[in-house]
Amino acid sequence: MARNQQPTNQPTNQPTNKLTNQP
């Protein structure tokens, strides 16, 4: 469970942080 949440949270946080940091 913990291993499945790590890889699923990384890719979801990257695109959300880049889009929020650009504007």
pLDDT (tens digit per residue) in 1-23: 555 555 555 555 556 666 666 66
DSSP 1-23: -HHHHHHHHHHHHHHHHHHHH--
Total-model pTM: 0.14
C-alpha 23/C-alpha 8 separation (Å) is 25
Confidence (pLDDT) at 7: 56
Confidence (pLDDT) at 15: 64
Which structure tokens are listed for 8? 């699923």
